[in-house]
Amino acid sequence: MKTKAQFLILIFTLSTIMCKVNAQSLRFSPELKELIGLSINKDRAVADKDYDKQISEVQKKAIRSSYIPKLELGGKYLFAYSTVNSKIGDIQGFESIEKLQELMKSSAFPVMFPNLAGLAGEITQLQTLLAQQGIQLPSISKNLDGDFYGNYFGVDLTATMLLYSGGQVPNLSKALTEKIKAQEALSDKCKSDVISEVITYYDQLALLIQSKHVLDESAVRLAAEKKYAATALKNGLATSFDTLKIAVANASLEAKLSEYESKRTLLYQKLSQLTGKPVSSFENMNPDLQLLLYANSSSDINNRAELRALTAGAEAQKYLLKSEKSHYLPKIQAIASARYDYVFNAKADFNAPIPMNMNIENIGLGPTYMIGAGFKWEIFDRSGGSAKVRQAKLEVRKAENAMEEAHELLELNQTKVSTNYQASIAQVAYKDKQRIAARMALELAQKSYNEGMINITERLATETEMQNAELEYLQSVFAQRQSVLECYKATGDLVLSNIQ
C-alpha cells in the first residue's frame, strides 16, 4: 500500500508540471484574504510610505509649477527723515554769470551797451544797500548740508515667469519621479511584510487548533485508560502505581491544554491588533492547516521591492547630478511690473549749496510700467556649485554600490529559500511516515496492553510518542507553508494581486 508520504511527493511533482500558468498565484480561503486586506489598510508603516509618496508628488508639482507665472502685489507707507552733510566738488554752469558781472564792471561795457550802463550802477547800488542792511545775495557753496523729512506711500505689482531654468527644473522633476517609484517599491515591501505576518499568525492559529485536536484525542484515550485501570485495580489486575502513571500522563496533557489556551488568547489579540477586528470575532474561526504549493521555477529577483527601490534611487541620484551640473547655465526670467509712488506732507531744509526751505505738498510718480527679461549666470562659484557636483557624484556611486550589494544578497537569499523549500517537502514526507508508524505502534501497544503483554508504562510511552509525532508533523506542515511564503518574497511576488 502506498503511504501518504509517497502521495504527497506525487502531488508536488504533478503540481510543478501542470500549474505553470498559475505559478504566481497563492490560493487562500476568503477568511484569510479578508484578514490580509484589513491588515494592509490598517498598517501604519504602509500608511507612512503612502504619505511619503504623496509628499514627493506634491514636491514634484511644486517643481513643475516653477514655469507658472507669479504675480506679487506689495505696498508700504513710510515716514522718512534724513540728514545730508557732505562736500561736493566744483559746480559748473554758473561761470557765465560771473563773467557777465566782470563785463558790466569793465570800461568797455557803457560804450558797447549804453542803455544798460545805468543798470549796472543800479545793481551795484542795490548790493551796497543790501550789504548795509546785513542782507547778502545767496551764493553757491561746495557743501551739501540740510534735512529732509516727509511721508511716502507706494504700491508695486510685479509678474515674473521663468523661461529657462538651465535644466534644473526638468532634472529635479525626473529625480522626484524616480523617488516616487522607489517609495512605491518600499510601500510594496511593507505590504508584503504585512501579508506574510498575517498569514504566519493565521497559520499559527491553525497549527494550534489542529494540535488541540490531537490532544483531545489523547484525552479521550487517557480517560478510557483511566476508567479501565480503575476497574482493573478493583479486580486486582492493576496496581496503584499503574493508576498513578495514568494520572501523571493526564496532568501532562492538562498542562499542554492550558498552554494551548494561553497561546490561543495571544494569537487572537495579535490578529485583532493587525486587522482592527474585535477579539471575539476570531473565537469561532477554525482554520485548516494544509500544504501550500509553490510551482514557480523562476529565479528572477528583479521584481524584488528592495531592488526596485534601490534602482529607482540610483536613477534619482543621477538626475540630481545632472541638476547640479546645470548649475552654471544661465537662468532666464520674464518680468513685468507696474508701480506708483506718492510723497506728501514733506519738507526740505538746506543750508548749502544754496540756503533754501521748501514745503512739498505732494509728489506723485507713476504709474510706471516696465516689461522685459532678465538673466542670471553664475559663471564661477567654487564654494557652492563644484562642491555640490562632487557630492552628487559620490551619492550616485554610493547608490550604485548599495544596489550591487543588494543584488548579490538577494540572489543568495533566493538560493537559500529554494533549498529550504525542497528540504521542507522532504521533512513533511518524513514526519508523515513517522506519525503513521507512531499510530500503528499505538494501536499495537493498546492491544498488547489489553492482553497483558506490556505494562502501563510502555503503553503510555507509545501514547506520548504518537502525540509528539502528530504535533511534529503539523509543525512540519507549518514550516513548509512558511518556506513557500519566503520563496514568493524572494522573487517579490508576495503581493496582493497574486492572492486568490
**What's the pLDDT score for residue 463?**
85
Pull the grid cell for residue 457: 508504562
Residue 252 one-letter amino acid: S
- Long-range contact pairs involving 119-126 (C-beta distance under 8 Å, separation at least 24): none
Q: Which residues contact 204 (CB under 8 A, 6 or more apart)?
A: 267, 478
Whether the CB-CB separation of 171 and 326 falls below 8 Å is answered with yes
Residue 259 shares a structural domain with residue 403: yes
Do residues 202 and 346 both lie within one domain? Answer: no
pLDDT for the residue 435: 93
Same domain? 309 vs 411:
yes
- Helix (H, G, I), strand (E, B), or coil: what is residue 158? strand
In a domain, 440, yes or no: yes
Q: Are residues 199 and 100 in the same domain?
A: no
**Residues in contact with 110: Cβ distance below 8 Å, sequence separation at least 6, in sequence order:** 117
Enter the C-alpha cell of residue 283.
Answer: 473565537
pLDDT score for 227: 75
pLDDT at 18: 36
Shared-domain flag, residues 21 and 136: no
Partnered with residue 342 across adjacent β-strands are 153, 364
**pLDDT computed for residue 235 by the predictor:** 63
- Amino acid letter for position 169: V
Residue 251's pLDDT is 84
Q: What is the pLDDT of residue 11?
A: 45
Secondary structure (3-state) at 364: strand
User: By the 8 A CB rule, do 358 and 348 touch?
Assistant: yes
Q: Which of 342, 376, 410 finishes a domain?
A: 376
- For the purposes of burial, counting CB atoms within 10 Å of the CB of 294, is it exposed (0-12), middle (13-18) or buried (19 or more)? buried
Residues 103 and 8 in one domain: no
When divided into structural domains, the chain yields a total of 2
Same domain (yes/no): 209, 262: yes
- Cα 125 from Cα 361, distance rounded (Å): 38
Is residue 61 in a domain? no
CATH of the domain at 479: 1.20.1600.10
pLDDT in tens, the chain (500 residues): 444 444 444 444 434 433 333 445 788 888 999 999 999 999 999 999 999 999 999 999 988 888 888 899 999 999 988 887 766 666 555 555 556 666 666 666 666 656 655 665 666 666 666 566 665 555 555 666 778 889 989 999 999 888 888 788 888 889 999 999 999 999 999 999 999 999 999 999 999 999 888 888 888 887 777 776 666 666 665 566 667 777 787 788 888 888 888 888 899 999 999 999 999 988 888 888 899 888 765 668 888 899 999 999 999 999 988 888 887 788 888 999 999 999 888 888 877 666 778 788 888 887 899 898 888 777 766 655 677 888 888 989 999 999 999 999 998 998 899 999 999 999 999 999 999 999 999 899 888 877 878 887 888 888 889 989 999 999 999 999 999 999 999 988 888 888 87
Q: Quick check: bond before 330 cis, omega within 30?
A: no
Is position 286 within any domain? yes
- If asked whether residues 181 and 287 sit together in one domain, one would say yes
Residue 271 and residue 409 in one domain: yes
Beta bridge partners of 358: 348
| Residue 56, domain member (yes or no) | no
Q: Judge whether 418 lies within some domain.
A: yes
Nearest to 256 by CA among 226, 217, 230: 217
Three-state DSSP class for 291? coil
Both 158 and 171 in one domain: the answer is: no
Residue 95 cell numbers, joined:
561761470
Residue 159 domain boundaries:
74-165+332-376
Task: Please report whether residue 192 resides in a domain.
Answer: yes
The answer to whether residue 54 is domain-embedded is no
Q: Please tell me whether residues 176 and 145 are part of one structural domain.
A: no
Examine residue 205 and state whether it is found in any structural domain, yes or no: yes
**83 plus 226 within the same structural domain:** no
